[in-house]
Structure 1
């Protein structure tokens, strides 16, 4: 196997294995040896301190034995004379001095051989200035018996001249031992001293011997490994078992040369511990020191010892690496320079390194790089000229190595098709051609490859965002020899604006033709409506009067009713003519489409066939539209009736409302609609549907697919109403798949009008005021005059404005109302009122007209909002309107 490595790696390995590794091995070995030696020294010191402390504790116990034995003879002598008050005071004084001077002595008591307390001294008796007790006090103390401190002790009577030490016992929460000596020979009493082990532990001699620090601690265990002394700053208290600590190796604690163990100590930290036994007491003295207290000083001393060798080793290694770098760096720079030249970067020049051989190589390399840079610079400038021309071109430019395989596109190309350059290069620009044009493109490319010298086609493309646009594609072959083309150059020219303008012209021409047709129909309908309305006024009016005057049982009542019904049907027909020509007069008010749909649902539930299922879906977030509620209901009714008629075998009829927000592109698809919110009414059925030819004629007046049963005005009326409301209607239908109509009506900011009657009462429909009636149509004028007089009014009737003014000039009585036609020969209604108002300033006016609203405004000169009653009107409508105008304040 061949291994490869760099010069830097070789030099580094040589320095590492020849110098650093051997030196490191030696220092590690020596450091480990020195560490162990220093550690043993520290542990020996701790072990020695433990043994010294053990010896001093034993000495302290022996000192107490000697002290008590020395007091034995004096106390024995005084006890023989205890009835003497002086002897009693002396006994008390001796015992008090023991308690006062020895802090470890907790309590001193003299017991008779029968176990009776002769005297007892407590720590409270240490107070300075206390005098000896009186005989009565002494006697009282003696009769008190054993105190609580002795109740758990077993007193051992030693031989004369000996002291006995009892086992440790818990007294008042602390551990104490009893020391007993006999008094007299034979012993007549015993002296018992209760020694607090913690106070013994704090004896001055021991404290001076070893001032314990926070990192070290000493404590005493009994033979059952139960703690006898306090351990400060730990969770252990006297009486706690310590067997759970790793003290098993202390069972044979003795005076060995070195017996130190490592374990988790009383402070729950790693410690070094040593122990020695106190045979006379059956205790074990344990000494612990934190491991960090031993190890950290050792590490500090090792750091001082090895600092100089390590520093020397690092200086040597640095110097060796520096020499290696001086040798290797020029070689590495030369390698990097060659790599950059291979990537086309010639700006890195090699500088002298101080090594002759490498400097000569650098000069040759720099010369070669300079020559290569000059030649490629000229080539790059030539390419940049072409690229700048291509990238700044307003048309897309592409290059193909074969038809369909693109290897270059400019930014304009990617912008047109909406694909990234890498997507076009990977999949070809045919990816974005509109699917319907791909077959035509394939045929044209085949002909171009086989015969043509140029490719010239108009194609549709699908942008990545889904929009479709037109382009002119032009491709020419490029031949470097007489053989087949080497590659192809092509351009894409955006024709979208041109095509849109062309389509817009076609659409505008169609709209213009439709507008002309609608205008012609409108003029015809308006003229016919005026004449019919004037004829219908007397027909409906006299029929209503006739029905009112005849008894309900009269045989003429039915003919009068039929005359009135025929008049109403004729009036509705006129309204339909005006609706599809968009000439009818509308009463706009805020309308909630949900409420209109609900009203029509009530009617349709009773009129739809049993095999037609009706469903009404109301949008909860619908908004108000400004519309004529009656006309909107007419739209719903006409569409629903047509849908029902299309379902000869039954089906589903669905009426749905919704709130839609049309954006600019969506609104553009609908004629004359602006972007914004619209209320959408959808009426759909599952009937037989329509073909394209039928769909193109459904809004034409008198076009019907129902034969003799249809009038051809239903959808024409719907179309006219929707357009007059500023909306739009679209149809979606296919043969055998049903039909869906969608009506878009603009949203209004007004609130819907309540269903409650707005106008108040005016005290009935009769009156006694004077009215001037002016109309050039005799039947209309005669009917109005007859009816108004029947209602109690005084009527001055004329057929033109000039005659009306003459009558007004000669009429000296009050005149309350001018009821006039709008369009008349001579003076029109507005001009007549203006001249009449000059003569009678309080005169009120009510206009009437059979013309459409646009003619009334244009020819009559009336302002929008003027009080106007439309012909044909009923006599009740006339009476109501007259009363309203007269009662206005």
Structure 2
């Protein structure tokens, strides 16, 4: 592969730098200094410097951040691409969430077009981060809508309101739940920073989610351009396969978008799931678009091969094939010029079965039914207020705190509460950091994380409830966690 002659020569030595828990550069090898200098992220453009600082902060808090690419300006026309990994250095005697960080990496050599592609990818990453922030705020709004609807239902019962009023309320709640479901699907698609564990996955459910996610591409945008794309779906239930939902969604989204782009004058997009023999599940994406010649069809999975000119990267189908193969599956392609294209993905059945969805309350026969003493922690007053009112409605004694530091003050040194319910994303102190602090000061006090984040599991919390929540589900989890917490009976 040819290299850009404008790039300075840098020996193929691993770059490494040690960063203190306060974010200060402590030590760096010569390779690092030759690229980044002594000012840590000072040579990076402002946007990349902000990303690097965010990744450093995440590692200081204990998270490992891998495969991050940055563009370091050079004297030539093109910047230097550098691949970095952020590793927290964990020691038992260190304060949780305050770890030194070792950053390692290497200079990458790629074609000249690489920098432009990375700029596009960085913009998409920023768009994804913005979307996650909007989703977080939207989940808080939906939490307030659902919570006040629950409070309104209680008032309507006491006022003996007409049946129509209850019907309007049910419609309002359903709309809020549908909105929350859509937000979760968007979050699940965007959040791919961490590798998911393989789990039993229902392929027909993934396909249905993808149809919802891609609706703007096959419905809204074509109609704005005066084009009609008809969608036919036959999503038959099939036994589960073993896989990671985010990666499977990525493959199907890519194939759906390719199908839409292959129908510039409109046509029919079809999505079907079915059994393939006795031991596999298949999902099929087909279009009635321009189709491909046999010579093109044979090359579509080659890296950097594209028929879209400057608009294509030539990596979409290559990555999709890799993901399918990682799932022990295969991709079959049928196409002809003017006759459209059909992609069929076939995956072996999983030997495990998904856990059936059920109300948490069904397994809580032995949980305590009397009122609990609860501390609700959230920096959003709207969410904090409605959560407090809902829990009081069920007979619990509830206090609230505006953020982590305020919560620690309320807790003090006494065992005055049976459980703490905290938001995840808060300024000054996150929900994870608050949970870690509670573990040190009040080892027997259960902590429940209440969040709209799709990636909220933590070793320091006893349970996670997603926003927006239904009151029955929240109360059931609160009772279960409180009943199983050490020293819960002594504190009551």
What TM-score results when the alignment is normalised by the length of structure 2?
A: 0.50
Partner residue in 1 for 2:190: 581
Deviation at 1:847, TM superposition (A): 1.2
Whether the 8 Å CA contact 1:589–1:629 is kept in 2: the answer is: no
Match of 2:474 among 878, 881, 888: 878
- Structure 1 residues 564, 736: closer, same or farther in 2, change over 3 A? farther
Within a 5 Å distance, the mapping from 1:353-752 to structure 2 comes to 505=111, 512-513=118-119, 515-547=121-153, 549-551=155-157, 553-582=162-191, 590-591=199-200, 624-628=241-245, 654-656=272-274, 681-685=282-286, 687-689=288-290, 693=308, 736-743=338-345, 751-752=352-353
Structure 1: unaligned runs, 5 residues or longer: 1-501, 601-609, 660-677, 700-714
**RMSD of aligned residue pairs (Cα, Å):** 5.4
Return the alpha-carbon distance in structure 2 between the equivalents of residues 577 and 514 of structure 1: 20
| Distance change (3 Å), C-alpha of 1:649 and 1:820 | closer
| Matched-pair contact (CA < 8 Å) for 1:526–1:583 | no
Q: Is the 1:655–1:684 contact (alpha carbons within 8 Å) kept by the matching residues of 2? A: no
Residues 200 and 354, structure 2, Cα contact 8 Å, conserved in 1: yes
Q: Secondary structure at the match of 2:141?
A: helix
Residue 96 of structure 2 is matched in structure 1 by none
Q: Could you give the per-residue CA deviations for residues 708-738 of structure 1, whole angstroms, max 9, x where no partner exists?
A: xxxxxxx9xxx9xx89x98999987666313
SS at match of 1:737: coil
Give the aligned partner of residue 86 of structure 2: none
SS in 1 for 2:412: helix
1:795 match: secondary structure: strand
1:797 aligns with 2:406: no
Match of 2:17 in 1: none
Q: State the partner residue of 1:242.
A: none
Say if 1:584 and 1:526 are closer, same or farther in 2 by CA, change over 3 A. Answer: farther
Which residue in 2 is equivalent to 1:844? 446
Partner secondary structure for residue 550 of structure 1? helix
| Partner residue in 2 for 1:819 | 421
Q: Distance in 2 between matches of 1:566 and 1:611?
A: 24
Q: What do residues 497-538 of structure 1 show as CA deviations (whole Å, max 9, x unaligned)?
A: xxxxx9974786576355423311221111111211111210
- 2:379 — aligned with what? 776
8 Å CA contact retained: 1:651, 1:685: yes
The correspondence for 1:808, drawn from 395, 411, 427, is: 411
- Tell me by how many angstroms 1:567 deviates: 2.4
Relative to structure 1, the CA distance from residue 559 to residue 786 in structure 2 (aligned partners, 3 Å threshold; closer, same or farther) is same
Does the 8 A contact of 1:590 with 1:748 survive in 2? no
CA distance in 2, matches of 1:737, 1:656: 23
**Which residue number in structure 1 is paired with residue 354 of structure 2?**
753
Deviation at 1:869, TM superposition (A): 2.2
Give the Cα–Cα distance (whole angstroms) in 2 for the partners of residues 516 and 732 of structure 1.
Answer: 34
Question: Does the CA contact (< 8 Å) of 2:203 and 2:240 recur in 1?
Answer: no
Residues 679 and 517 from structure 1, CA distance in 2 versus in 1: closer, same or farther, beyond 3 angstroms?
Answer: farther
Cα separation, 1, equivalents of 2:371 and 2:181: 34
Shift of 1:588: 6.0
Between the aligned partners of 1:750 and 1:696, the Cα distance in structure 2 is 41
Counterparts of 1:235-274 in structure 2, within 5 Å, are none
In structure 1, C-alpha distance between the alignment counterparts of 2:119 and 2:280, rounded to whole Å: 29
Q: Does structure 2 conserve the Cα–Cα contact (< 8 Å) formed by 1:536 and 1:872?
A: yes
Distance 2:143 2:428 in 1: 23
- Structure with the greater alpha carbon radius of gyration: 1
Rate the CA distance shift 1:753–1:686 in 2: closer, same or farther, 3 A: closer
- How has the CA–CA distance of structure 1 residues 595 and 520 changed in structure 2, closer, same or farther, with 3 Å as cutoff? closer
| Residue deviations 1:775-813 (CA, integer Å, cap 9, x gap) | 111011111101111112111211122332222227564
Q: 1:758 to 1:510 in 2, by over 3 A?
A: farther
The alpha-carbon distance between structure 1 residues 793 and 785, as it changes in their structure 2 partners (threshold 3 A), is same
Q: SS of the residue aligned with 1:556?
A: helix
Q: Is the 8 A contact 2:156 2:166 kept in 1?
A: yes
Q: Give the distance between the partners of 1:682 and 1:743, measured in 2 at CA.
A: 5
Q: Which has the higher helix share?
A: 1
Cα distance between partner residues in 2 of 1:758 and 1:567: 19
Moved more, 512-521 or 583-592: 583-592
Q: Call closer, same or farther: CA 1:781–1:865 in 2, change over 3 Å.
A: closer
Q: How big is each residue's C-alpha offset from its partner over 1:596-638, in whole Å with a ceiling of 9 and x where there is no partner?
A: 69999xxxxxxxxx997959697xxx984134499869969x9
Question: Aligned to 2:422, what secondary structure does the other structure show?
Answer: strand
CA distance in 2, matches of 1:839, 1:880: 26
**Does the CA-based 8 Å contact 2:359-2:473 persist in structure 1?**
no
| d(CA) in 2 for partners of 1:504, 1:633 | 25
Give the match for residue 53 of structure 1.
none
Q: Is the partner of 1:771 in helix, strand or coil? A: strand
Q: Is the 8 A contact 1:547 1:561 kept in 2?
A: no
Q: Secondary structure at the match of 1:824?
A: coil
Distance 1:682 1:795, change over 3 A: same
Q: How many residues align?
A: 325
**Aligned position for 2:219:** none
Q: Does 1:829 align with 2:431?
A: yes
Q: Does the 8 Å CA contact 2:413/2:441 hold for their aligned counterparts?
A: no
Q: 1:527 to 1:773 in 2, by over 3 A?
A: same
What per-residue deviation string (whole Å, max 9, x for no partner) do you get for residues 285-306 of structure 1?
A: xxxxxxxxxxxxxxxxxxxxxx
Using the TM superposition, give the Cα deviation of residue 687 of structure 1 relative to its aligned residue in structure 2, in angstroms: 2.9
Give the TM-score normalised by the residue count of structure 1: 0.30
Q: Which has the higher contact order (CA 8 A, sep 6+)?
A: 2
Name the CA shift for 1:790/1:584 in 2 (closer, same or farther; >3 Å).
Answer: farther
**Whole-Å separation in 1 of the counterparts to 2:336 and 2:313:** 14
